[in-house]
Structure formats: structure tokens, C-alpha cells
Structure 1
């Protein structure tokens, strides 16, 4: 029987092969059903889409996409975005129009502009995707760090100049807008700006890559920068890094140091990567590019709307820092603060409602509010002279906790005063200063072999298709409270609301048995154990503000110094701005720890010249002491 089945199988297989060969010969004789050239019927489209190469002053040409509504009733303004993320795909997801109707063909943020008859332009920055030239990840302004004749400021100027002279039926006014890197290029356009540039909306811009935006925070390096540099600089297009594990915590921990991880992916070939990790202190290479410092030394003539997200997981320093300088220069500059992750108010890369973030509901669609009540009126005012129906506040800030929009004449909000809340014995917090003579403390052991994760594992790589990277700042912090290497302090339930509206600092009085240490401070809103209208928030611990300080920079950001072992020293930790109300019944909570991995690289806790290159035997346990009387400075609004 087995022999018969085998013979039958052989006969069937031969017949199938013979039939396949005949089919192949027959198919080869038929013409392809895909024509060599297909022309879509664009007469049904209510817009035109044109691709051009715009020449810069050094002869380099930049790839540019121009979307223009047909049948403009009057000359229209131009709004431009300059991007490293592929101008062709940046506006349509696929590079191909999805609809003959402009407002349906573009991502949600562009719909209000197309509805109002704006000319919309996207451009690849030099060296990326369709543009010519050399790509430098954050090309410095012309000067000591850039001796050449061009930068992102001159490229913006030359682009605007070409557009107003060559795009038919424009009104001679240009606005610029963008998120993240595009927010940075929007800021660059403010320097030596073109006369036609009349409005700018930089959103979630990278301003100071060392103090508190993409690459470092207060001296601690962010390993996810490695993924970004790989994606942006291994190809002219984009290239995803091979991680090797679904859990980034495991991938980075097993790799060893940050440089060990990078070297295993051949990133020592990448100049941008070497520049990041070979400059771990706040030297001139960082200071000379800090946009807030640059703006402080210039006069910005372009009305500018700065956009900041309270839960921006990438660039939560820059926007308030830039506005602090801009508000000194005139009332034409404004600030909007929303309850958003990085770019949530302008979600071009996906459809995402601004009505919630993680488990938190805002009771309104804050993204729709921004696009139609903030962005569009700002452009209409400055690009078309259409005055808003009611006076525009200098600052609009969404207040989490109460979930209400507030209007202020400045930021931090008028009436804010600093109140210190003190860490005390038995895990308590109090607004009353303790006895200065008290020397009591709490302690824990920080083990680099078992760093505190910044969120519950598995921690998905940022490029994972199902990542929730944008939500981690609102993750419930209860899972970390029970770790022996995390200290938690909490107030009594509040009897009156406490509203914060400004920047936050912590001052820890601490010691370590090591020679270096990181200090992480998290300010948390601890919800009541039962929340009747939203039961899932019962006992929730919401981070209101949190950040890290690398101890070696406690005296100077510019020079790293080892820490004297077992010496009680002050450490001042800069933390992100907040606009939040702790409601009655809630508790104010503070958590302290010495690792936050792999959001930040592990501190070996022995002093090495550059932590990125720390050898494996440098990573040592250390006992950390936090002395009572340490405090957090809160910007309390009366």
C-alpha cells in the first residue's frame, strides 16, 4: 500500500509540474494587464499636487511638494513644513493622493488649512529623501560650529523666496509649522528671517538636546536616541534598527554599555552617533546650539506661537524655555500648553483623538480645539489680517486635574509662588519645614544589574508597530512603589485643591557609597482608592512631573566630577513644567530612585570618564541615602 501511494503521489506531482510548465508558457504569450503608463483622471480633483526641486544659494536643490487648491477666490497664503521624514509621504501617508477632495486627501492637521484655501508645502531638508546635499542631523547655524555658507535658516529663507516668486496666486505671506524636528526647523527659520515669513508655529521642538530634550536630560543619556540615529543616518531614507528582542529592557541590559549596544549594530560608522556619545558634558557643542540661548541673543520679528505638551515624552524642556525668551520680546508671541504626548495636537502620522491619553479622559477633544481654535485663527490673523472674534490670550494652558483650559497673561502663570513640600520620616510629605537639626534618612540599594524600569515590561522598542511610547508619562506608577530601590513619600489626603502652574525643582540632600549616582524624582498625583465615576482610576498614581540628574554634574553641567563617597551633598533636579490641580481627597506623592531604564542609560556608580564606554566591571551596587528635609519646590497658584 505504501508503494502504491508513493507511485500515485509521483504521478500527481509530475502532472502538476507539467501543467505548470504549460501554464507558464501560455502566460508568457499574454500581454501584461498593467499598462506601461497610467494617467489618473485629475480633472475630478479639487487641488493640484506638484513636485519641484528648489535651488538653494549654494546650488543644492531641495525636493518640495506643493499642494494648491484649485479655483482660489483670492491670492492665498503659503504654509510650509521642512522635514527629514519624507516630504512625499509626510502629507499623504503613502505619497499618493487618497481622495479627489483635498481635505480628505491630507492628514487631519492639514484639513483646516485646505478648507480655508491655503497653499500647503512640504520640503525635505538637505541630504534627506528627495533632496540633494549633505545631511547633518541638527545642522548648526553659520558660525563656529558651521563655517559653511548655508544652514537651516538660509535654506528656509531661500525656499520662501522661491515660493513667493514662483507659486501663482499666492498673497506674499508665508507661515511655517512643524512638530519635533520640524518644530526645530521652524525655529531655525526665525533667525535672519525672510520678510515674507509672517507667522511660525513650532510644536514640541527640540531646543536643548543636553539639558532636557531628545538626547540627554540633566546629563543622563537616553538610549532610545540610538534607535533614532540609526533610523535617520544609516540611509538617506529611513532604516529601522534590528533590536533582537520584543523587550527593549532586555536588549539594552544584555548589551552592556550604550556604546556596546551601538557597536553591536555597527553604529561606530555613524558620525552623528559619535558626536552624541563623545560629548557627554554640557560643552560648547551643546550650548552653542541651544535655541533658547540663541533666541535670547537675537530679535525675533516673526509672530510665533509656541506649542508644548504636558506629557511630551521626547522634548519636554524646549518649548517653555523658548517662550520664556520670546515673551520678553513682545505680545505677538504666544504659548499654548495642552495635555498631549509628543505631537498629539498635530497627529499627522495616525488618527489620534485628543480627548484622552492612556486611562485619562479630558472631557473634550483637545486636538480639534487646537487645530480650529488656536492654530487656524493664528494663521488667519497673521497671514490674512483676519482678527479673532475675541481677544487672544497670551497663554492658553490646559489644566489637568480639573480638565479645563485656562488663559494667562504670562507663563509661569501670574500669582504663582514657590512652596516647598518636604520629605519626612515614615514616608510622609509636609509643607511644614522639619527641624533643621534632624539627620534622619531613608536608604536603598541601587543595583545596576537590576535597574528600575521606566514602565512595566515588556518595554516595546519605539519603532514597534504596536508601541505605546507616547503614553508612558501617564502610566500608573503603583508597580514601582513596591520595589525596594524606590522610596515613596505621600501627603495626607488634601482638604483643599492645590494648583501648579510653572516649572518644578527638587532639592535632594543625599549620599551614596559609590563615586557617581543618578537621582530620579517623580512628582505624582495619588488618586483616592475609589473614584466612583471612573472606577479604573481608583488608587491611580499619575506622574505630574519627573526627571533625572546625573550626579557627576551636580556642581557644573560643563565638568564631570566624582562624588565623594558617603558625603551628604545637595542635588538640584530640574523638572518639567506642570499645569495641574491636585483635587481634594487626592494626595501629593514623591518617588525617588537611582535608575530609570532603558529610558536613561545605567550609571555604573563608579566614576568613569564617559559612561557610554563604561566597562562591565565598573557597574557596582551602591547604598543611597535620602535625608529628611529634602524638598520639591512647587509653583503653587493662589
Structure 2
């Protein structure tokens, strides 16, 4: 979650950094936002006490004129001493807000021990209680932040009526859903981020391990994690070990927000990206808070653009690097002005959903998510057993279900030689960019199956959640299957749209691990999350099936929980597409 931070800092230096030269009017002109009134009072490192006596370093940026003002609060694990927060603080103060930036515990000047997630509910609540006692507080608290300090908004708003509104961007209250995909660990995110936080806290060097990432713990049923024990004894637990069994975290804050939407009363303005690591969890946040939230929380809004994790900017799709940042700053300010100042600025009349349709590269307002007019359409795979042969393989994709028997498509998955990650829906790191990239170079691998439609005579819009129903057998006791939706361009490029995975031991849910019976055909459901893409006429829709995508997902050793990560087994996989085993991808087609 820290990679976005470097991106935003760079943009801040170029655009917002002008403020250090007294150029706030220039910034306002660039971003098409009001410049506000000059003058800011700043109080750095005010030590705010928590219920257990730990004090958190808190910076206040206040309008120059004394008085009571609405508050915009952000709680951050990356340190608040940088220029970016000084710039943001002065900006919000000029708009008539008190901007409060707080280091979470164990970070920079805050006391206590750093440990991800576990203290944020109580510390957030204690911070709002402190704000309520201050003479400058006018009764309204908004929250702001991206990624982890979008997550701290959800945790602070849990059963907390003092949070008036929030703007969680590229984030979710459901960290669990973000880091686990079908039982497979989002290794690139977890390893990269945890290592970066360790380097920050210890002043060490960022050295993520991209060379191993194997998975083969013993089979066992879920055992709920004792969160109170972690809070009291954080050094007993490593964060990555807690993710070994997804069922251990189900239904528990701080990892799983599912039981708690009904306690939230703050309306949220959510910004997400089709290639963001939080994309599907954030879409689920939106539907849940609109359905279950208290009062005005059901008036939450959602914007989804063609963005990866970080500042909302995509020059290729939007035509300008500034369109996304302008929307980000403009819409956040409008949201605060409406909910915290009562300004009638049109927010009440805005559509609840705004999405970017890739392919056509246009924005469109919608009244709900998922779209009520969606037609869920099955595209079935077929082949003569040569889907692994590229180019010239016999894998096809069509609306016609198999009517009889067809040869299986077979391949061997070797954990020592996984399919490399190239683009995707995750946090980008140095050398491993996220987003839509051409997959053609990997289509000729013997462990990659490809199924494609005929060139489309008319365009097809796919907007919503995608799933693959897969019938497969394996020679292993445990293995993974992966699926990827691809837009094949007339020039031969195979452009990534979305992907997902299933870890076989979790095929029946996260509570119980079950080994495979080698050679037996099982039904798997692979969740590819959501997208909005218009497959243009002349393009082809394609489905890629394999068993790895590394380092996006950690790699299954196929050992079935026996022998640890040293037990690396080659798995022989068979993919079925017959009348009895009709493997298919279900696409959310929007009629036109």
C-alpha cells in the first residue's frame, strides 16, 4: 500500500509543490479548484492520548482566523512529516477546514508499537473523542485518505456517529478480501508492503523476497484468531503468518468488515480503479453500505476509473494525466463542502455511481451497482486438445455449450517455473507494474491454455463481476488454477482485463481445507472480480487458464500440506469441456 505514496509524492512535487513558492492560485488553476483564503496556523506533534496511555503524534493545520471549523482527519502509517501533508494541510485550512494528520502508533513521533490494522478501531475512536473536546471543533468531522489511511476511515467510522462523512480512496474495510483471492495469497502486495513497512520502522533497506513465495502448510480447519491477544502481545505474531489460513480471519475486525457495515452512519465518497488491488472489496463496500448502513451512509457514492493503485491518473485512457487528479480533488472538496458545511453544490443530485468504460474510454453515470440491466452470459470453452499450442491452437470460446465429449486440454504445472506476472490488479512495485499489459509473450508457454472467440461483428460491453466455472482434475493433492480475461486486438496484442485464482484446498470455502483425490474431476469457481470494458468490433474475447501467476499470487507447491515448502511437486492438470463438464466464463454483458 506504500507504492501509491511514492507516486502521489511525485505528482505533489510537480503540481502541489508550487505552494512553497506562494503559488496556491497556480495550483488551484491547474486542478480547477478554489484557492481559498490565505493564512494557516500550524501545530506539529500534538500528543493525543489513547485509552491505554499511548500518545499519538498529531499535526493540526488551522485557518488563520480563530473560530470553530469542521475537521478533516487523516490517520497515516507512512509518517506525516513530509511536505505532501504540509501542502494538503495548508490547502484544507485555506478552504475553511481544520486538517488533522496523525501518525498511527509506532510510526515517526507516535508512541507504541507498530502492527498493521489491529489498533485502528480504538485509536480512531479515541482521536475523534479528543477532537470533540477542543474549542475549535464545530461538531463536524470528515475523514480523508488513500489506501491504508482510507482503511483507517472505515475503522474509525465503525459504530462512531461522530464521523460525519468520509472519502476512502483505493481502499476497503475488508483487508481480508484484498489479500486473499480464492485462497491464494496476493503475494506481491503482502510481501512488498510488509517488507517496506519493516524497512520504514527499522530504518532498514527494502528487500522484498520475489524468489520464493511457496505455499504448502499442513491441512487443518480454521481456528479463529484471538485479536485481543495480538493487541496485548503483538511481538508473538508475524503478520504474514496470520494469513496462512484465510478462515482464521473470517468475520473479525480488523480484517473482515462484513459484520460491521450496519454500524456505520457516515456517507462515503469512494474512488476506485479497475486495476486497483482493492477494486472488488471496495465495490462490495459500496453495495453493503448502501444496503445496510445507517441513515445518510446509504447515500454513499462510487467512482471507478481506469486506474491502478495510487493517484487516479491514466493518460492512455483519459488523454491527460491531470483528468483523474482534478476529479479526485474537486469531488473530495465538493463532498466535504456539502456534508461538513451544508453548501448546496449539487452533490445531493449526483448519480450514485460513475464508471469509466474502457475500450470506448468514456465516463458514464449509473444509478446502482451492479447494473440492474446486466445480462449474465456464459461463454463456453472448446478445443480439440490443443489449447496449449500458440499460435495456431484449437481453443475456442463461444455461446454454444458442449453437446458431447471433447478431448481434455492437458498441461503440467511446475512451481519452480511459474507463469510470470505482467500487469494485473495489484499494487505496482519497482519492475512489476500493474494495469493492462500485453500477455502475448506468455501465450506460447506449455502451461497456458487459450480460448478465443471469433472476431466480434458487433461490440460487447462487459461491466460487472466476472466468474469462471472450471471443471478440472489434477495429479496432486492440492494445486491452484488461475484464469484471465483478455481483449485480443486486431493487431495481435492480448491485453489483460482481469484475473483470479482458486486454491484447490479451499474449493468448498475457507473454513475447512480438503485435499484432492488425484485424477478426480472437481468443479471450481474462480472469481475474476469486476471490470468495465467494451470489446470493440473486430476484437476477440479470450480466456486464459493456467495454474500460476507469480509473484501476484504465492505459488502452490502441489504438496497437499505434506513436507512443507521443500516438497515441490509437478502437477499434471486436465481441463474438461464436455456436456457433463461445461467449463465456461460468465460475463456481465450490458445490452445496447
The C-alpha deviation readout for 1:419-478, integer Å capped at 9, x for no partner, is 11111112111022221x32432111111121111129xxxx976xxx254x42312111
Within-5 A mapping of 1:458-537: 467=430, 469=432, 471-529=433-491
Q: How does 1:101-500 map to 2 (within 5 A)?
A: 105-106=87-88, 113-139=92-118, 151-166=119-134, 168=136, 170-195=137-162, 197-210=163-176, 212-214=177-179, 216-224=180-188, 225-233=190-198, 236=201, 239-242=204-207, 249=210, 251-252=211-212, 271=235, 274-277=238-241, 279-289=243-253, 290-296=255-261, 298-312=262-276, 314-328=277-291, 329=293, 331-345=298-312, 354-356=313-315, 360-364=316-320, 365-389=322-346, 391-425=349-383, 426-435=394-403, 437-455=404-422, 467=430, 469=432, 471-500=433-462
Q: For residues 17-39 of structure 1, give each alpha carbon's deviation from its aligned partner in whole angstroms, at most 9, with x where no partner exists.
A: xxxxxxxxxxxxxxxxxxxxxxx
1:547-596 per-position Cα deviation (integer Å, ceiling 9, x unaligned): 11111111222211111111111110111111221111111111111111
Q: State how far apart, in whole Å, the 1-side matches of 2:318 and 2:422 are.
A: 23
Asked if 1 retains the 8 angstrom alpha-carbon contact of 2:418 and 2:549, the reply is yes
Q: Distance in 2 between matches of 1:258 and 1:383?
A: 50
Change (3 A) 1:541 1:49: farther
Distance (whole Å) between structure 1 residues aligned to residue 234 and residue 342 of structure 2? 47
CA distance in 1 between counterparts of 2:146 and 2:216 reads: 27
* Bigger Rg, which one: 1
Unaligned runs of 5+ in 1: 1-39, 98-104, 140-150, 260-268, 346-353, 530-538
8 Å CA contact 1:295, 1:322 repeated in 2: no
Structure 1 segments (4+ residues) deviating >6 Å: 256-259
Per-residue CA deviations over 1:237-266 (Å, capped at 9, x if unaligned) read: 6543335xxxx65x337xx6699xxxxxxx
Cα–Cα, structure 1 residues 408 and 578, in superposed 2: closer, same or farther, change >3 Å? same
Structure 2, gaps ≥5 residues long: 1-19, 25-37, 218-232, 384-393
- Give the Å deviation of 1:201: 1.3
The 1:125/1:606 distance shift into structure 2, 3 A limit, reads same
Given that 2:482 and 2:547 are in contact with CA atoms closer than 8 Å, whether structure 1 keeps it comes out as yes
Output the TM-score relative to the length of structure 2.
0.80
For residues 369 and 598 of structure 1, the distance between their equivalents in structure 2, rounded to whole angstroms, comes to 33
Alignment partner, residue 69 of structure 2: 76
Whole-angstrom distance in 2 between the partners of 1:375 and 1:497:
34
Q: Write out per-residue CA displacement over residues 284-312 of structure 1, whole angstroms, 9 at most, x where no aligned residue.
A: 4343134441234x332111122221111
SS of 1:474's partner is coil
Distance 1:582 1:300 in 2: 38
Q: Secondary structure at the match of 1:584?
A: coil
Query: Cα gap change, 1:184/1:634 in structure 2, threshold over 3 Å: closer, same or farther?
Result: same
Root-mean-square deviation (CA, aligned residues, Å) is 3.0
**In structure 2, which of residues 533, 538, 543 is the aligned counterpart of residue 585 of structure 1?**
538
Give the secondary-structure state (helix, strand or coil) at the position aligned to 2:212.
helix
The alignment covers a number of residue pairs equal to 517
1:23 aligns with: none
Correspondence 1:87 to 2:80: yes
CA contact (8 A) 2:75 2:104 kept: yes
* Compared CA separation, residues 299 and 615, structure 1 to 2 (3 A): closer
Deviation string for 1:481-524 (max 9, x for gaps)?
A: 11111111111111222112211111111111122111110001
Of 512, 535, 546, which aligns to 2:499?
Answer: 546
**Compared with structure 1, are the counterparts of its residues 596 and 41 closer, same or farther at alpha carbon in structure 2 (3 Å cutoff)?**
closer
Q: How far 1:637 moved relative to its partner? A: 1.3
Conserved 8 A contact 1:525-1:589:
yes
In structure 1, distance between residues paired with 2:97 and 2:328: 14
Equivalent pair of 1:157/1:194 in contact (CA under 8 Å): no
SS in 2 for 1:327: helix
Q: Which secondary structure does the structure 2 equivalent of 1:383 belong to?
A: helix
For residue 566 of structure 1, the aligned residue among 511, 516, 519 is 519
Q: Tell me if structure 2 keeps the 8 A contact 1:161–1:194.
A: no
Change (3 A) 1:626 1:207: farther
Task: Give, in whole Å, the separation in 2 of the partners of 1:396 and 1:152.
Answer: 30
SS in 2 for 1:155: helix
Q: Is the alpha carbon distance of 1:281 and 1:450 closer, same or farther for their aligned partners in structure 2, counting shifts above 3 Å?
A: same
Q: Give the direction of change, closer, same or farther, for the CA distance of 1:137–1:355 in structure 2 (3 Å limit).
A: closer
- C-alpha displacement of 1:331: 3.9
Change in CA separation of 1:236 and 1:472 when aligned onto 2, cut-off 3 Å: closer
- For the Cα contact (< 8 Å) 1:507–1:570, is it kept in 2? yes
- The residue matched to 2:52 in structure 1 has which SS? coil
